[in-house]
Amino acid sequence: MLIKFINFFLILEVVAFCRNIFLAFCQILWYNYRIGGDSIQKLISRTIFLFAVFVIFISVFFIPVLEGTTSHRVLENPEILDLNPNGFVWPIPGYTRLSSPFGKRTAPTGGASSFHYGCDIPAPQGTKLIAIHDGEITFLNFLGAGGYTLTLSFDAFQVTYCHIDPHFIVSVGDFVKQGQVIAYVGPRNVYGVPGNPYKDENGNPTNGATTGSHLHIGFRIHQQYQNPMDFF
C-alpha cells in the first residue's frame, strides 16, 4: 500500500513539473511576441523548437520514471525467497513433502498415469503458488488429468502448475517476477467443465486426476519432461 501511495505521489509531482515547464515556455513565447516584436512566423518556429526540446526532455528524464511506477503486475509483496544454486525458488512455500515423485508409480486414481511426469506436493486448498523464475504465462486452462493448469515459460523451460484454483489471478501473456504469487492450490472438486471425465468415489467431478488438494509441478526443457527435483 505504501509503495502504491509513493508511486502515485511521484506521478503527481512529475505531472506538476511538466505543467510548470510548459507554462514557462508559453510565457517566454508571449513575452517575445508582445515585447520583442517577433513576427507570427518566428513565433511559430520558436514554438515548434521549444516543443521539440520539451518532448525530448520529458522522454529522457520522466517517461522511464513513470514506466517504473506503473509496470503491469509487478511484485509488491514478495515471499521470502530461498534461491537454490540453479536460480529457482520453491513453488509452494511452507510445503516440501512429496506424495508422489517423478517416475514409475502405481496410478493413484482412474485416469492417472502409471509414469508420473512431475512431482506432487500436498497442500491445503488456497495455498499460495509462486513463480519459480521470471517468465511469461503461456497457458491457463483446464488440461485433462492435470485439471486447471498454468504454464510458466522462460528460456527453454516450460513449468506446469496443475490442479490449481480455477479463479485465475494472472492471464496468458502476463510477464511475472520470481516469487510473485501466480495461483493458489485448487479444490479437489470442480464443476462446470464440459466433458470432464474425472470423478471422485461419489461421482462428483474432480480437478483432473486427483485424490485431494495438491500441486503437481512438471518441468519440460525443449519439450522433454525432466524430474523437477533435479532443479531444487
Contacts of the segment 14-17: beta carbons below 8 A, 24+ positions apart: 14/62, 14/65, 14/66, 17/62
Report domain 103-231's class: mainly beta
Q: Are 90 and 42 in contact (CB under 8 A)?
A: no
**pTM of the predicted model as reported, rounded to 2 decimal places:** 0.63
Confidence of residue 1 (pLDDT cuts 50, 70, 90): very low
Q: In angstroms, rounded to a whole number, what is the distance separating the alpha carbons of residues 46 and 200?
A: 76
Q: Would you say 213 and 163 are in contact if contact means Cβ atoms under 8 Å apart?
A: yes
Q: Provide the residue ranges of all domains of the chain, joining segments of one domain with +.
A: 2-69, 103-231
Note the pLDDT tens digit of each residue in 40-56: 666 677 677 767 776 77
Bridge partners of 162, per DSSP, are 149, 216
CA distances from 11 to 16, 49, 51, 91, 191 (A): 9, 26, 21, 34, 44
Banded pLDDT at 135 (limits 50, 70, 90): very high
Residues 98-110 have pLDDT tens digits of 988 888 866 666 5
Query: What does residue 188 show for φ and ψ, rounded to 5 degrees?
Result: -70, -45
